[in-house]
Structures are given as structure tokens and as C-alpha cells.
Amino acid sequence: DAGVTQSPTHLIKTRGQQVTLRCSPKSGHDTVSWYQQALGQGPQFIFQYYEEEERQRGNFPDRFSGHQFPNYSSELNVNALLLGDSALYLCASSSMQGLETQYFGPGTRLLVL
């Protein structure tokens, strides 16, 4: 039973570019949440997808967008990258059927130069 997977593991981009990060949830899970973790900080909630729709959103600008596919996998897109977008991006999967624990993937480390 595969856990949450994310790709790529590392990414280097320059300011102004666009990036797409990918996440496959744990088997049996239908909900994907994305978090940003800056160095030395705790993760911060970006948004959550369920049934291919954004259900909840944290305090992040519209440059951050996402998508969920019919197989429950998800993408996080960030446009017009800023130096401050450098962070570890974590994907968490869960089931909308009431299970409280969110299972996290290994993350994608993004460096913006």
C-alpha cells in the first residue's frame, strides 16, 4: 500500500517562472491538502481539494492554484515565482469520510533564485 507520493523531490527555478508540483494520495483517500513550509517554520495551509474542487483556502495569493484529477491526484501550480516562494511544499491526504489523520508526503523542496 503506497503512501503519499510527491514529485519532483527538488526543483530550482528563477524569479518570474512558473512551477507545477504533483501529489498522489494514499490509497483509499480522496482529499488532498497542500502546505508550504518555509525554513525554520511550521507548515502553513495553502488549500484543499476534494471532488476536483478547491474546498478551503488559506491566506495565499492567487498565484497559487491547484487541480485535482478524477484519480484523486493533485497538482499545485505557482505562477510568477518570488524568492519568498522558496520552501518545502507538502502534500497531505485524507478521507472525507471522517478520518481525522492527515498523512503527509515527503515534500518537494523548491528553490527560487
Minimum Å gap between C-beta 104 and other proteins is 4
What the block records as the C-alpha cell of 57 is 483556502
**Residues at the interface with other proteins (CB under 8 A):** 4, 31, 33, 35, 39-45, 48, 50, 56, 58-59, 88, 90, 92, 94-96, 98-107, 109
Nearest Cα residue to 112 out of 69, 68, 80 = 80
Q: Which is nearer to other proteins, 22 or 58 (CB)?
A: 58
Minimum Å gap between C-beta 111 and other proteins is 12
Judged by phi (left if over 0) then psi (alpha if -120 to 50, else beta), residue 99 lies in beta
Phi first, then psi: what are they for 35, rounded to 5°?
-130, 150
Q: Which is nearer to other proteins, 7 or 18 (CB)?
A: 7
